[in-house]
Amino acid sequence: MRLDDILFSQGFGTRRVCAGLVQHGHVEVADSENVFHLETDASSDWEPSLYPDGFNFKVDGRIWRYQSLAYVVLNKPAGIECSQKPSAWPSVYTLLPAPLRQRPCPGKVQGVQAVGRLDQDTTGMLLLSDDGKFLHRMTSPKHHMPKVYQVSLKHAVVGDMANAMLARLCAGVVLEDDPQPVKAQAAELLSPTHLQLTLTEGKFHQVKRMVASVGNRVEALHRSQIGGLKLPDDVLPGQWRWLTAQELQLLRG
């Protein structure tokens, strides 16, 4: 694979732009000893799979690792919309570097796409990828992918009231515009005002509407886990990183 083709596949611009990055000395590549060397020939052939630690390169001094497909975890802060065309708040995609937003993909949409959405005031774990099969598997209702939410309640609940609330959430509640009951896979009250809720569906404002249907209100909402993967401790609000092979396995089951 030509070096400029590698840069193009990783989202560094058009083929002409990528060739120019190489020819003008903006790109360094790592050899088998992970030592970086200036590369000035865009036609150089490289095979990422031949390198034991992956194909590492630098563009303008920043290290990148070749990824044939992108799998990213992001810790979404409040006040951010999960849309590429936000209506009132900044887009979550502005938290990502340009190459992730520009990776060439089949069809009209470029770059990584969010696996589902979180409301602008909801925080926590968001996955993004350019792997269509992965996106479909993670969002399809047929796969019943569990998602765990930490819910701060406005009104404290204890005793029989708490037990009744949890029982209703797990048995199923009817939302205003949906005749089919929706239910939690699991519900646990960690404190009088802290509810942990596990869902396998993703309806509009589902957590907030479910909590409202049992006579309470969501004050804050945080997604802490998807499938078998918890939000990594090393990903702070507003930060992202690549998913490891082990983390991907936890998601794929």
pLDDT in tens, 46-102: 888 777 667 899 999 999 999 999 999 999 999 999 998 998 999 999 999 999 999
Sign, CA torsion 237/242/244/250? positive
150 and 204 inside one domain: yes
Q: Which of 21, 46, 65 is the C-terminal boundary of a domain? A: 65
79 and 129 inside one domain: yes
Q: Which of 23, 44, 65 is the C-terminal boundary of a domain? A: 65
Q: Which of 45, 60, 119, 121 is labelled catalytic?
A: 119
Judge whether residue 108 has pLDDT over 70. no
Q: Which CATH number belongs to the domain containing residue 176 in this structure?
A: 3.30.70.1560
Q: Which domain holds residue 38?
A: 3-65
157 and 220 inside one domain: yes
Beta-bridged to residue 114, according to DSSP, are 128
Ranking 122-131, 132-141, 172-181 by mean pLDDT, the lowest is: 172-181
Q: Which uninterrupted H or E stretch holds 142?
A: none
136 and 247 inside one domain: yes
What CA–CA distance (Å, rounded) separates 23 from 41? Answer: 6
In degrees and rounded to multiples of 5, residue 178 shows phi and psi of -135, 115
Judge whether residue 241 has pLDDT over 70. yes
80 and 61 inside one domain: no
3-state secondary structure at position 50? helix
Q: Which CATH number belongs to the domain containing residue 36 in this structure?
A: 3.10.290
3-state secondary structure at position 23? helix
Q: Which CATH number belongs to the domain containing residue 126 in this structure?
A: 3.30.70.580
What CA–CA distance (Å, rounded) separates 227 from 140? Answer: 13
138 and 195 inside one domain: no
Take residue 118 and report the two structure tokens written for it.
């979180």
95 and 166 inside one domain: no
251 neighbors 228 (Cβ within 8 angstroms)? yes
138 and 150 inside one domain: no
Average per-residue pLDDT for the chain: 93
Name the pLDDT band for 33 (thresholds 50, 70, 90): confident
117 and 237 inside one domain: yes
Q: Which of 65, 81, 104 is the C-terminal boundary of a domain? A: 65
pLDDT in tens, 139-186: 988 888 999 999 999 999 999 999 999 999 999 999 887 778 899 999
44 neighbors 2 (Cβ within 8 angstroms)? yes
190 neighbors 196 (Cβ within 8 angstroms)? yes
Quote the number of domains for the chain: 3
| Active site (annotated) includes residue 119 | yes
125 and 237 inside one domain: yes
* pLDDT at residue 109, as a whole number: 77
6, 145, 176 from 9: Cα distances, Å: 5, 30, 46
In degrees and rounded to multiples of 5, residue 214 shows phi and psi of -105, 20
Q: Which of 129-133, 179-183, 220-224 has the highest mean pLDDT?
A: 220-224
128 and 244 inside one domain: yes
Report percent pLDDT > 90 for the chain: 77
90 and 153 inside one domain: no
